Amino acid sequence: MKKRFFYNALIFVLFLTPSFALAEQININSATLSQLDEIAHIGTKTAQKIIDSRPYSSIQDLSRVKGIGDGKYLQDIINQGWACVNCTTEISQTQNTDIVNQNLTSITSPATVAPTVPQITYPSDMYINEILPAPEGADEQNEWLEIYNGNDFEVDLAGWQIKDQIGAIKTYAWPANSFIKARGFLTVSRAQSKIVLQNNGDGLTLINPQGIIIDQIAYPTAPANQSYNRTSSGWIWSRTLTPGQPNEIDKVSAAVQQKIAQKKSATTSAATAISSNSLATLPLTAQVNQFSPSNNKLSRIFTFLLAIAVAATSAIVVMFLRKRDGYKTIP
């Protein structure tokens, strides 16, 4: 009810207010004789008198023109609204009227609310799961990589990227509607991604649409026709290829991996033991045993050479003593 009353009051005021800016206002300080003749009560003679009495600081100054005065004629000229002195200001009043009209429109029109843009959140449990760098047959046709969705919901990989790290680096971006099921796998061939997995070692980086690195791997020289698999204990090469399925490590590969791990552990333990004990404080025999285990071929050669050196040294010493004591060598 209040809005309607306010609207009606503004309409009433606007209709009672004289129009200050018609399509063509007449500036009494610069108008021609014919233009002044269009103003109410102004004829040719009075128009000439207006020109002769210039300049004017306001419309009220027309009162000093003979034939107009400050009575009814002047008031009619003001009410007509055609004559002006500072026309720019009066035009601005018309602009203010337009603003009022716009405000009236905004009062009567329903407010438009800008739509809220939802914030997109990308999942983090996305992994590079299995790759085949050195397949049987042509690499161009048989190389592939696999992505695993570790989330409990389906993910659209549209806008996600994956790229290699060595050589002529290629970046593959998934198109729209590239869905991967919850706890599911998605395999991408080399023909599709154009990514070359180098046989002598390379790496991959998985990036979400915000440019954040989600996962990355690096692998050493690839054995022929074996895939590199993510496992709970680390990455392992396997002869069992499982594109689009859970990774499976064959027994041979598992045994080899176990031996490698044991060897690394033993080497680390030996290095730790040697570094923790200073060899300088050990007897000579202990030092020899430390570096020369009896079952080592190099150790046996070293012992043999050491024996020859000791024998040669002994012979030289004996010869020297015999010569010194006057003994001759028997031919």
pLDDT for position 11: 46
Looking at the structure, tell me whether residues 236 and 131 fall in a common domain: yes
In this predicted structure, the answer to whether residue 240 has a pLDDT above a threshold of 80 is yes
Global pTM?
0.47
**19-43: average pLDDT:** 76
- Provide the strand spans (E) within 152-265: 155-156, 161-164, 171-173, 179-180, 185-189, 202-207, 213-219, 227-231, 234-238
In this predicted structure, the answer to whether residue 18 has a pLDDT above a threshold of 60 is no
Tokens standing for 71?
């009575």
Residue 197 belongs to some domain of the structure: yes
Residue 269 belongs to some domain of the structure: no
CB neighbours of 221 closer than 8 A, spacing ≥ 6?
Answer: 199, 200, 201
Pairing of strands 161-164, 171-173: antiparallel
Angle at alpha carbon of residue 261, lines to 165 and 200, rounded to 5° = 30
Looking at the structure, tell me whether residues 100 and 171 fall in a common domain: no
In this predicted structure, the answer to whether residue 145 has a pLDDT above a threshold of 80 is yes
Please give the single-letter amino acid code of residue 205. T
CATH number of the domain that residue 79 is part of: 1.10.150.320
Looking at the structure, tell me whether residues 97 and 189 fall in a common domain: no
DSSP letter, residue 148? E
In this predicted structure, the answer to whether residue 143 has a pLDDT above a threshold of 80 is yes
Angle at alpha carbon of residue 130, lines to 188 and 122, rounded to 5° = 70
**290-316: average pLDDT:** 73
Domain that holds residue 228: 126-255
Structural domains in the chain (count): 3
Residue 250 belongs to some domain of the structure: yes
Q: How many CB atoms lie within 10 A of CB 215?
A: 20
Q: Is 47 helix (H, G, I), strand (E, B) or coil?
A: helix
